[in-house]
Amino acid sequence: MLEVLRAADDHPTAAEVYERVRRSSPRIGSATVYRTLALLVSTGRALELNLGDGAAARYDANTRRHDHAVCDGCGRAVDIDHPVPDGMMAEIARRSGFAITGYDLQFRGLCPDCQANGSDPARAAGGTGPTVNTHAKGALHAEA
Amino acid sequence: MLEVLRAADDHPTAAEVYERVRRSSPRIGSATVYRTLALLVSTGRALELNLGDGAAARYDANTRRHDHAVCDGCGRAVDIDHPVPDGMMAEIARRSGFAITGYDLQFRGLCPDCQANGSDPARAAGGTGPTVNTHAKGALHAEA
DNA sequence: CCACTGGTTGAGAACGACTCTCAGTATCAC
DNA sequence: GTGATACTGAGAGTCGTTCTCAACCAGTGG
Ligand SMILES: [Mn+2]
Ligand SMILES: [Mn+2]
Ligand SMILES: [Zn+2]
Ligand SMILES: [Zn+2]
């Protein structure tokens, strides 16, 4: 299970992990996949990502603190490694009165593939082929 | 409906909006609330927020670009107005190849109330009383 | 007035992503 | 082997949201 995650370069949803694990263990049930993912997350061996588009959670074996850029066309998420300045966190904490423990940041836009296939973006991104989320669910990226 | 949103200083979920609208229009159905919220969002008169905790979407009549600090204890979300430097966006775009159109940023931590009532945080935040999300759903704020 | 027409509405069914329950099974300790 | 214990998968349940569809409400023309 962790192997599957480590081997994944995309950021698979639980359903995608299930599908992949099933190839080597066809008798596994989805409950076990959810249980195991939760365990990996709670023991710090994986990250659960909520990319702010209201879609299913994604899982990431890369536990270093990092952010993502999410493609509005095909849903692909790529790693972004560019920490927010510390001073900013302190400033936010001071102004809000919150005890800030962390932050989630994601950029939205179009990936190179979807920029190319300008029209009907939600179909590009073929490549090695992670499932594409067709149903875009309304005006996204308005968030936060 | 927009009035209800404008009058709200918290960031109500669709269910909370429904509940409040119902006070003046008791015959309204939830389908209409969802439909209307979607319309407000798609016409730019409200924002749909996905605060990255996998919880229900929240709605915000404040359409200025702004971010939020979310309390891990009681779920409260307060506005943060502290734009990320432009240079950073450009840098991200350059390094990722994405055409970046925006970003979503949320800070996590404990609100002043929940800092006070240290133990059992998920019960504080009384105040004017938006519903509190008890079931915390596992290790949050690991995200992104 | 009143029959048509098209846009809204609300009730309830359907849906997707999860989470729970529970009986069956594998594991280990004796 | 026998029993205690943990783990598993099937399926039911939950929650937030969207869909479907019949009833309803404008208007419009007559
Ligand atoms: Mn990542
Ligand atoms: Mn706000
Ligand atoms: Zn794309
Ligand atoms: Zn709080």
Domain assignment present for A109: yes
| Mean pLDDT along residues A78-89 | 90
E strands, chain B, where? 47-49, 58-60, 67-71, 77-80, 99-110
Dist CA B48 CA B84 (whole Å)? 20
Residue A86 has a pLDDT of: 86
Is the pLDDT reported for residue A85 higher than 90?
no
CATH value at residue B106 = 3.30.1490.190
Kindly list the residues from chain A whose CB atom is less than 8 angstroms away from the CB atom of residue B115: 99
pLDDT tens digits, one per residue of B49-91: 999 999 999 999 999 999 999 999 999 999 999 988 889 999 9
Q: Helix or strand or coil: residue A91?
A: helix
Q: Is B67 one of the annotated binding-site residues?
A: yes
Interface of A with B in 29-48 (CB under 8 A): 38, 41-42, 44, 47-48
Domain assignment present for B143: no
Looking at the structure of chain B, the number of domains it has is: 1
Least CB–CB distance from B92: residue in A82, A91, A144: A82
Domain assignment present for B144: no
Interface of B with A in 81-110 (CB under 8 A): 82, 84, 88-89, 91-93, 95-110
This prediction's pTM: 0.86
Q: What residue type is A30 in one-letter code?
A: S
**Which residues does strand D reach (CB under 7 angstroms)?**
A 25, 27-32, 35-36, 54, 137-138; B 13-15, 30-31, 34, 38, 55-57
A141 to A64, A72, A102, B102: CA distances (angstroms): 25, 8, 21, 7
pLDDT tens digits, one per residue of A43-56: 999 999 999 999 99
Q: Kind and range of the H or E element at A35? A: helix A30-42
Closest CA to B48 of B75, B13, B19: B13
CA B116 – ligand 4 centroid, Å: 9
Q: Which nucleotides of C are covered by protein (CB under 7 A)?
A: 9-12, 16-21
Dist CA B76 CA B129 (whole Å)? 10
Q: Report the chain A residue with the minimal C-alpha distance to residue B45.
A: A142
Cross-strand partners of B53:
none
Kindly list the residues from chain A whose CB atom is less than 8 angstroms away from the CB atom of residue B97: 111-112
Is the pLDDT reported for residue B5 higher than 50?
yes
Dist CA B121 CA B94 (whole Å)? 42
Q: Kind and range of the H or E element at A15? A: helix A14-24
Domain assignment present for A121: yes
Is the pLDDT reported for residue B44 higher than 60?
yes
Closest CA to A74 of A6, A136, A139, A3: A136
Q: Give the other-Cβ count within 10 Å of B32's Cβ.
A: 14
Domain assignment present for B93: yes
Find tokens 């775009």 and name the residue. B93
Least CB–CB distance from A108: residue in B47, B71, B103: B103
Cross-strand partners of B109:
A100, B71
Q: Read off φ and ψ for residue B109, nearest 5 degrees.
A: 165, -155
Find tokens 């499932």 and name the residue. A131
Domain assignment present for A6: yes
The whole domain housing B131 covers: 2-138
**Which ligand does the CA of B58 lie closest to?**
2
Dist CA A74 CA A97 (whole Å)? 38
Is the pLDDT reported for residue A121 higher than 90?
no
Kindly list the residues from chain A whose CB atom is less than 8 angstroms away from the CB atom of residue B57: 54
Dist CA B118 CA B51 (whole Å)? 23
Domain assignment present for B40: yes
Residue A31 contacts strand C, CB under 7 A? yes
Domain assignment present for A144: no
